[in-house]
């Protein structure tokens, strides 16, 4: 978002004034801001995958996206009045997005929305059956590997860690330690995600403007990338 001066005299009616980035950050980030950041970093990541696979910088920026979607999932699960409808929305969008996802990336696995759906189910079960928390998380991680899903058990582990997020040294040690251990087994591709909880700390707990575009953005941007790819390839 470009830095712009606030409107004062002569401001157009019914328009929100543009504000400098430092002003937004000083008041904290709303859910809308985090959605924007998640969407933009995901788009840059996918542009890199499809058109510029050798540009490592785009993939590094893209590592910010998934943890932000996890944060939004955890917050949504905590505040939704209708978890069933929330889950159904994820399932329907996942089904709609799946063929576009496979065409765009040339893969056979399930898209991120199914992983978020499994994460949502785990979150609900953990709240209802706290005595079975470990078994629930392990079950969700196993399911994400079995199906398989794009982020696999790493994704469900991130849901669990984000659910227990506390801005304390112990939590940070677990978060960083988990990523270092994961890098030892699967490579350091996700290491940039270590810094993402700094964005969590900026969240102010407010919803912000409605983002009616947000759910359509995932299948929409995939379809656009595929169409552009077809035009370039043709």
pLDDT at 231: 78
**How many Å apart are CA 6 and CA 20, to the nearest integer?**
8
**How many Å apart are CA 86 and CA 226, to the nearest integer?**
28
Contact 208/31 with Cβ under 8 angstroms? yes
Q: How confident is the model at residue 167 (pLDDT cuts 50, 70, 90)?
A: confident
pLDDT at 185: 85
pLDDT at 69: 97
Contact 42/65 with Cβ under 8 angstroms? yes
For range 190-196, the mean pLDDT:
95
For range 42-59, the mean pLDDT:
95
Cis ω on the peptide bond leading into residue 148 (within 30° of 0)? yes
Across the chain, what does the average pLDDT equal?
88
Domain boundaries, the chain: 29-195
Q: Whole-model pTM?
A: 0.86
Q: Indicate the range of 79-83, 146-150, 183-187, 220-224 predicted with least confidence.
A: 183-187
**52-106 tens-digit pLDDT:** 999 999 999 999 999 999 999 999 999 998 999 999 999 999 999 999 999 999 9
Non-local CB neighbours of 182 within 8 Å, separated by 6+ positions: 154, 157, 190
Non-local CB neighbours of 231 within 8 Å, separated by 6+ positions: none
pLDDT at 152: 93
**108-135 tens-digit pLDDT:** 999 999 999 999 999 999 999 999 999 9
Structure tokens at 146: 């079995």
For range 183-198, the mean pLDDT:
91
Q: How confident is the model at residue 10 (pLDDT cuts 50, 70, 90)?
A: very low
pLDDT at 65: 97
């Amino acid at each position: 978002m470009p830095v712009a001066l606030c409107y004062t005299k002569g401001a157009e009616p019914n328009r929100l004034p543009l504000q400098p980035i430092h002003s937004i950050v000083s008041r904290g980030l709303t859910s809308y801001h985090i959605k924007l950041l998640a969407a933009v970093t995901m788009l840059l990541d996918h542009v890199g995958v499809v058109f510029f696979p050798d540009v490592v910088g785009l993939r590094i920026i893209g590592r910010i996206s998934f943890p932000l979607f996890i944060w939004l999932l955890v917050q949504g699960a905590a505040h939704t009045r209708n978890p069933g409808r929330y889950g159904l929305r994820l399932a329907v969008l996942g089904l709609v997005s799946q063929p576009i996802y496979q065409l765009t990336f040339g893969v056979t696995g399930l898209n991120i929305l199914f992983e978020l759906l499994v994460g949502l189910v785990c979150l609900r079960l953990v709240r209802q059956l706290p005595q079975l928390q470990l078994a629930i998380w392990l079950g969700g991680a196993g399911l994400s590997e079995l199906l398989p899903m794009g982020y696999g058990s790493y994704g469900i582990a991130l849901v669990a860690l984000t659910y227990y997020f506390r801005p304390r040294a112990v939590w940070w040690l677990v978060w960083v330690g988990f990523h270092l251990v994961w890098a030892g087994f699967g490579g350091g591709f996700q290491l940039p995600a270590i810094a993402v909880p700094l964005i969590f700390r900026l969240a102010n707990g407010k919803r912000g403007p409605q983002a009616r575009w947000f759910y359509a953005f995932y299948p929409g941007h995939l379809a656009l990338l595929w169409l552009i790819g077809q035009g370039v390839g043709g």
